Amino acid sequence: MRWSPTGWIAEFASKDGGEPARFGVERWAANGDAMIGHESGRLVAARKQPGFLGIHKLTGVVAVVPAAPGWTVEADMFGDLMPFTAPIAAWVLTDDGVVQPIIDKGWEPGTNPDPRGSWALQVGGSSRHHIVPPPTP
């Protein structure tokens, strides 16, 4: 779940005990119910669906600023993920006042964090990540 027009998501228990399923709240009903898209093609009240756990506010993006060349994120080993260093492409400011780096997550085939080697960007903020400024001349 990456997008919701209202900025809210509805969360549902997984049938197999895994991660909860998340659906974007499409709109609010007159009675205040969070309405989500249903496989029938209709909007339904989230709270009336099986496995409903609750609704949660998503973080909104206030601004995206390009990063100056040379900034990187260094990640420690975590579980079976090897440590890596990734260039920072941009900085994202969220509506809760947090600034996070956006990193290139697939810059070399077969390396962490994207084992497929495809090029993509992702938020690089984590407790195992360290932001490293460019070297001073």
Tell whether 29 and 88 lie within a shared domain.
no
* Residue-wise DSSP of 53-81: EEEEEPPPEEEEEEPPTT-EEEE--BTTB
Residue 2: the pLDDT is: 60
CB 6 within 8 A of CB 35: no
The backbone torsions φ and ψ at residue 85, rounded to the nearest 5 degrees and listed phi first, read: -125, 135
pLDDT at position 84: 78
> Domain check: are 78 and 124 in the same one?
yes
Shared domain for 45 and 87, answered yes or no, is no
Residue 85 has pLDDT above 90, yes or no: no
Residue 23 structure tokens: 């659906």
Query: Is the per-residue pLDDT at 15 higher than 70?
Result: yes
The total number of structural domains in the chain stands at: 2
User: Does the pLDDT value for residue 56 go beyond 60?
Assistant: yes
Q: Is the pTM of this model over 0.75?
A: no
Domain annotation covers residue 29: yes
Contact criterion met (CB below 8 Å) for 124 and 88: yes
Give the domain extent around 42.
Answer: 8-57
